[in-house]
Amino acid sequence: MTQFDMPTIYDPRAVEEKWYRYWEENKFFRAEVDDREPFSIVMPPPNVTGQLHMGHALDNTLQDILTRWRRMQGYNTLWLPGTDHAGIATQAKVEEQLAKEGKSKYDLGREKFLERVWAWKEQYGGRITHQLRRLGASCDWDRERFTMDEGCSEAVKEVFLRLYEQGLIYRDYYIVNWCPRCHTTISDIEVEHLDKPGQLYYIKYPTSDGRDAITVATTRPETMLGDVAVAVHPGDERYRHLVGKTLVLPLLGREMPVIADEYVDPSFGTGAVKITPAHDPNDFEVGRRHNLPQVRVINKDAVMNEEAGPYQGLDRWECRKRIIKDLNEQGYLVKVEDHNHAVGHCYRCNTVIEPMLSRQWFVRMKPLAEPAIQAVKEGRIRFVPERFTKIYLNWMENIRDWCISRQLWWGHRIPVWYCRNCEEAIAAKEPPRKCTCCGSTRLEQDPDVLDTWFSSALWPFSTLGWPEKTPELDYYYPTSVLVTGRDIIFFWVARMIVSGLHFMREVPFREVFIHGLVLDALGRKMSKSLGNGVDPIDVIESHGADSLRFMLVTGNTPGNDLRFHFERLDGARNFANKIWNASRFALMNLQDYDPASAPGREAHTLADRWILSRYQACVQEVTRFLDSYELGEAARVLYEFIWDEFCDWYIELVKPRLYRGQDARDRACAQDVLARVLRGTMELLHPFMPFITEEIWQRLPHQGRTIMQAPWPVYRPELRDERAEAEMAVLMEVIRSIRHIRSEMNVPPGKTADVILVVTDGHTRDLIQEWSSYIQGLARCRVQLKPELDRVPPQAAHGVARGVEIYVPLAGLIDIDRELARLKKELAAVEKELKRVESKLGNESFLAKAPAEVVEKEKAREKELAGKASAIRERLAVLAG
């Protein structure tokens, strides 16, 4: 490859596939244990049968930036990829496939069904990892793991057995999130709370003596059939006389007590709460405190059971209608109010979940949480940004036991067998031959599987070979940083910390870098139901992976959500094109460049010293921001340096020195600075935009086989030149001012202007004298330098920049009469619009009725028009002489 065959237009597709194949084939991502300092990240495992979405794209872009940066810094860098078996999601996919064939999983049986799931996994499991490659993820694919591979499965069994033997895993009845369609418990993170319009039903519960009554309010009247008490606050004077008395449950006639409990908020609703321990998690806790019975009235298929009395066999929604009708007819329904409230839905099938009492397996979390709380308080784990520390600690200090069983077939089956003779439970890695209690061989394994989060909680150490003591586990654990979204801090991050401390006696990672969600342009979460998702692969096809990555990281601040705007994506593509065009120009002028014969620093011009100094500032700032996880700020610094300082200023300033026929030594000096800054800039930009930087770097003089292995640019303070920066700032400000005058006065771009610069300061005058060629070249003008001015030139536009007075005589540059006519016409239009706005703002009726934001918008418009009119009048005054 040479610089001579560089296409005129940048084509991401031609570049990206080529370089990724080159990187992967040459094992540039591969990590092996050695004596260097390690840097390791484990990838939050996406669903094995899933496909890349914008959340994945952001999460993995951030991880890749950190990985590529640390790799260039010389760390032994491991980014370990993997996928999650995603129990409920994957099983649902295969069941959908079976349904199209007119079958269910029960037609196949468990063993044959699991064979189908594994086949599905083999067919579709590589889709998301292929898409991550399209994104540019520099993972060590040779170490790719799967939560149900042999090693991870062994780790799951080992953890379960240890916790079981330590009394930290138990089986009991508790309230769980039950999906009536998927027929399984689901974790809190798998419940989507959607705001839905509903009703609040006020129901009168009479005392058993018929002399009084308590009114309660509920959004789920069907659960009243499972009520076992009504609770009031112990300090509530309204109900104190009723505490200890008995109420009669409407419709069923069951008697139940009035109890006092501080859980009740006396200011909410009627201040009385119906207690249904089998169908509400808070009521369950109240019921346990007061030793209340647990009456389950809804079955796992969301149909009312025998405890529901005359409503047995009804679907829960039909039951609700019947109950409301009956309550109204019997005089128990006090009133009904419209009420919007959050309703939990299964994230997979969108069915309304049912909180339900069920016998499940749990992990006792309180004793495990204590070390995890201390690790964060002591600073052994640091959250970025810091505000998530408080959120983490609050959740951990109020943690509940974790339901780990799922009523699925796909997943890690619970390693417990039950004796059908004596009902003994036996936990073991392999099937036991006989009951350890009675010796019976009639053993049956628990049909449930473990929550997907159970295996992913072990991810930082199970992926490195635990429970075996592998060299990788010893070297790369604890990992350096975890990069993850703010939405799973409790469900995954906390559980990894708990597991790592308990089984490794060490934190799983030193830092947790939390990022926000990718929202649509309106600030809504992307979802299938809204139809507002954007496919990253479509974006890569249309704009390139580098543009997608740069768009996702720019403007991104740790922990905050990011809105996806196609305009920002177009801006990132324009940035890639700017880099390409600037590099192509540079490479065209480096054909005879010889780094060995380049002159030294003594030959550098002011522009050379300035760009080298600004490049060093860029190195320092980018590295500093990466160190503090301010990746968006690092990208901003690079963008501004490349687009503004390097492309728009230095390249324009250096062009005349590169033309053949100029001073050979000066040309060689310009080539050397141009090549060094361009190469260094590509190295700084590489973690953010890996493909285009590799393509350009390979065409520049370089050492090594890939930019990925190039040393990260190191800040060199001796190359910072504050004087050069200050002097260039003066010249740049003068150039900008002249350009602004030309633009304001409509001077044709091709015309050379005569410019008078009045400079009283001797140093500034000497500076402009020496480097007037910069002003003349970039502002297209001829410069006259004067210490003072006898008289102001007629019809001259005027400006001031850094103490330099600028006069641009306009006679001969523009058609003054024509410009006067144009400006008068423009002023008339502006004044007409200004008068309209002023009239609107002077109208008391408008001010009283219009929304505040509309009024503010009109005020801003008034200010804008007044400023514009003033500027036009000033230009007219100049032209009138």
- Annotation: binding site for ATP: 528
Q: Which of 690, 706, 695 is nearest to 60 (CA)?
A: 690
Q: What is the dihedral of CA 61, 63, 68, 71, to 10 degrees?
A: -170
Please state, in angstroms and as integers, the Cα–Cα distance from residue 851 to each residue in 502, 839, 857, 859, following that order: 58, 17, 10, 13
**Ranges assigned E (strand) in 261-364:** 272-275, 333-346, 354-363
Pairing of strands 509-515, 479-485: parallel
Helix (H) or strand (E) holding 39, with range, is strand 38-42
Phi/psi for 363 (5° steps) reads -105, 130
Axis crossing angle, helix 150-165 with helix 494-504, rounded to the nearest 10:
80
Cα–Cα distance, 612 to 607 (Å, whole number): 9
Q: How many other C-beta atoms can be found within 10 angstroms of the C-beta atom of residue 219?
A: 13
DSSP 303: B
Instruction: Tell me which DSSP letter residue 814 carries.
Output: B
703-712 in b/e form (b: 16+ CB < 10 A) is eeebbbebeb
Which residues line the annotated binding site? 528
Question: Of all residues in the chain, what percent are helix, strand and coil, respectively (each to 5)?
Answer: 50, 20, 35
Q: Give the type of residue at 258.
A: V
Peptide bond into 478 cis (omega under 30): yes
* String of DSSP letters for 526-567: P-TTTT----HHHHHHHH-HHHHHHHHHTT--TT--EE--HH
- Closest to 135 in 3D by CA, of 276, 255, 17: 17
CA distances from 153 to 452, 458, 462 (A): 12, 10, 9
Cβ pair 202, 217 in contact under 8 A: yes
Alpha carbon separation from 97 to 92, 100, 293 (Å, rounded): 9, 5, 43
For residues 518 and 52, the answer to whether their CB atoms sit within 8 Å is no
- Beta-bridge partner residues of 339: 198
Question: In 3-state terms, what secondary structure has residue 712?
Answer: coil
d(CA 684, CA 618): 9
Report the DSSP beta bridge partners of residue 216.
203
**All residues at 6 or more sequence positions from 470 whose CB lies less than 8 Å from its CB, including other chains:** 464
Cα–Cα distance between 610 and 653 in angstroms, integer? 11
